Chain A
Amino acid sequence: MVLVAFACALWALGWWANVRLAEGPASGTKAVQLLVPVLFGATVLVVWELVVRGLEVPLVILPAPSLIAVRFANSTPVLWDDFVQTILKGALSGYVIGCVAAFGTAVLVDRSDFLRRGLLPVGNFMAALPIVGTAPILVMWFGFDWQSKAAVVVVMVFFPILVNTVAGLRETSVMQRDLMQTYAASYWQGFFKLRLPAAMPFIFNGLKIATTLSLVGAIVAEFFGSPTIGMGFRISTSVGQLALDMVWAEIVVAALAGSVFYGLVAMAERAVTFWHPSQRG
């Protein structure tokens, strides 16, 4: 009970500190903008730890963060192997194949107005569907190993990127295209010098959506069958063994991988679309 009371006090203290920081004179600075969410996150972690210990919550319901950290540190080889299997082999290869395929299709579709009118609604429709459901079929076709996971990821990332790229390639105005024509630019010159750069913000929007989707696809596909390695496999078997600290450790890996992946794409976006108003601010 003492620990729980302590947790409440700590929560109040953390909140008070954040209020002081956020409404204080320095609230606009970069340091405070970083400090406040970090403080919030740290408070949540400490309160979680104290509450779990104070109420003696059993491991099968919620392990304490310290336990998860210990498990994480002790089983890094396993976690690393799972990471390689699911993220690097499954998600990343599927992501690259899906992006290239979608981009290629978009460039082809863009040449014909008829195709664009036809494919865009279909693509939009497909982007909203629960495509993860194709996982059992693709696992049946491509076997249990990472190839089937990559296939699921390809199908999942294809439509968001296709739709965004096609929309992006439409982004130039008639004036700009006319200017290209007065320069006697060929189709491909116009494409590479005007329309592709103009489409970049849209393409990156699709790429960013696809990062999360690719991880979701690779992990969920493993629920339908996988070799005895991989994050989805580890999660489902550890849940079965009630080893929730392992599950949480895998979730930490997934969270880290997802944020880093997204961060890398966002950094690439910043480098490529530095001219765009949303990046200049």
Chain B
Amino acid sequence: MRSLMAVLCVVGVIVAIWYAACVPMNIKGVLTEAERGGAIVTPEGAKDRRDIAATRLVMDNSFAIPATWAQDRPRLPAPHQVAIELWQTTVMKKITSKRSLVFHAWVTLSATLLGFAIGTGLGILLAVGVVHSRVMDMSVMPWAIVSQTIPIIALAPMIIVVLYSIGVQGIIPKAVISAYLSFFPVVVGMVKGLRSPDMMQLDLLRTYHASKAQGFWKLRLPASMPYLFTSLKIGIAASLVGAIVGELPTGAVAGLGARLLAGSYYGQTVQIWSALFAAAILAACLVGLLGVIERATLRRMGMA
């Protein structure tokens, strides 16, 4: 309960700082508009104001403060503007509409989930191979670890264009990027997990005369579950980033990444922020969902 209070406090402070930051960030635009509307602004003329510090302008023109939270295309939209935009583009629009964020979020989510499923599946398979074959362990594992230190996402534009040139478009290229990004965390985590049973436990199975397959199904796989879920959470977040970034270079028309890009082209800041928050909510839901599955699974297995 105390933690909840503390979290709410911190969130409240962040929102307050956000509102406060809107004032100096937006003041210049607001003053220009107000002057055009006939209000008296000190000093007059946008040119004179250009080099004056924003805080000074705020102090001299305190009447304009409320307007900084209600601008049409602010540099920094106020929280309620983002919230209203989110509400309007999710609940108020039909979900088939091109302007609905639910539609865009689904485009991104479908690529994310497909890629995540592929990446996780292949990752687990490779991890099983690595654990059972010394050659694979020694040849592949160092590369898997090194590959985590490189910005794989730099490959995203190329993957899209290459797949496009051989006639693959739509969801698949984005899913490939998502799969690629979630693949390596799963491999590394799963190998760690499959190796987590200690000598005593392995020896016990040997005294039972268990076969290798039995050892895998009854000891290694169950023991790897906590590690698997940890890396799945990292993997799904990476998948989502991959799907969003995968939408950038092609000038895609649908998806959260496309909304970000369109917003940045046309200066629609509120749209950028709402797309960003939609992505954040989506990520939080996905990670949260995995957390629920993790807890249920581990409780069922008697590990939590």
Contacts and interface: CB of A to CB of B under 8 A. Distances in A.
A2 interface: no
A41 B143 contact: yes
Which of the listed residues B233, B260, B261, B263 has the most CB atoms from chain A within 10 Å of its own CB? B260
A231 B154 contact: yes
Interface string B133-174: 011011111110010111101110110011001100000000
Interface in B227-269: 233, 237, 240-241, 244-245, 248-249, 256, 260-261, 263-264, 267, 269
Contacts of B6: 114-115, 117-118
A133 B243 CA distance: 12
Interface residues of A, number: 63
Interface stretch (A181-189, A197-205, A236-244, A273-281): A236-244
Contacts of A128: 233, 237, 283-284, 287
Nearest to B155: A251
Given A40-B143, A231-B154, A115 B260 contact: no
B140 A40 contact: yes
Interface in B161-191: 161-162, 165-166
A137 B7 CA distance: 26
A180 B242 CA distance: 47
Contacts of B248: 220, 223-224
A254 interface: yes
B259 to A, nearest CB: 10
A207 to B, nearest CB: 12
A258 B149 contact: yes
Interface in B1-37: 2-3, 5-11, 14
Interface stretch (A46-54, A170-178, A208-216): A208-216
A218 to B, nearest CB: 8
B279 interface: yes
Interface string A255-271: 10011011100000000
A220 B256 CA distance: 15
A225 B264 contact: yes
Nearest to B77: A137
A242 B249 CA distance: 13
A259 B244 CA distance: 25
A162 B280 CA distance: 19
Contact of A239 (B150, B161, B269): B161
Main secondary structure of the interface of A (DSSP, over half): helix
Contact of A220 (B150, B153, B264, B273): B153
B54 to A, nearest CB: 12
B138 A37 contact: yes
Contacts of A129: 237, 279-280, 283-284
A257 to B, nearest CB: 8
A88 interface: no
A115 B8 CA distance: 11
Contacts of A36: 135, 138-139
A67 interface: no
A39 interface: yes
Nearest to A119: B10
Contact of B283 (A33, A39, A130, A137): A130
B78 to A, nearest CB: 14
Interface of A: 15, 18-19, 21-23, 27, 32-33, 36-37, 39-41, 60-62, 114-115, 117-119, 121-122, 125, 128-130, 132-134, 136-137, 139-141, 211-212, 215-216, 219-220, 223-225, 231-232, 235-236, 239, 242, 244, 247-248, 250-251, 254-255, 258-259, 261-263
24 contacts: A22-B138, A33-B138, A60-B161, A118-B9, A122-B14, A128-B237, A130-B240, A130-B280, A133-B244, A133-B260, A136-B263, A137-B273, A139-B264, A212-B149, A219-B154, A220-B245, A232-B154, A235-B157, A236-B249, A239-B249, A242-B161, A247-B157, A248-B158, A254-B151
Interface of B: 2-3, 5-11, 14, 75, 134-135, 137-143, 146, 148-151, 153-155, 157-158, 161-162, 165-166, 233, 237, 240-241, 244-245, 248-249, 256, 260-261, 263-264, 267, 269, 272-273, 275-276, 279-280, 283-284, 287
Given A60-B161, A130-B280, 17 more contacts: A22-B134, A22-B138, A27-B138, A37-B143, A118-B9, A118-B10, A122-B10, A128-B233, A129-B279, A133-B244, A215-B150, A219-B154, A223-B157, A239-B249, A250-B154, A255-B150, A261-B149
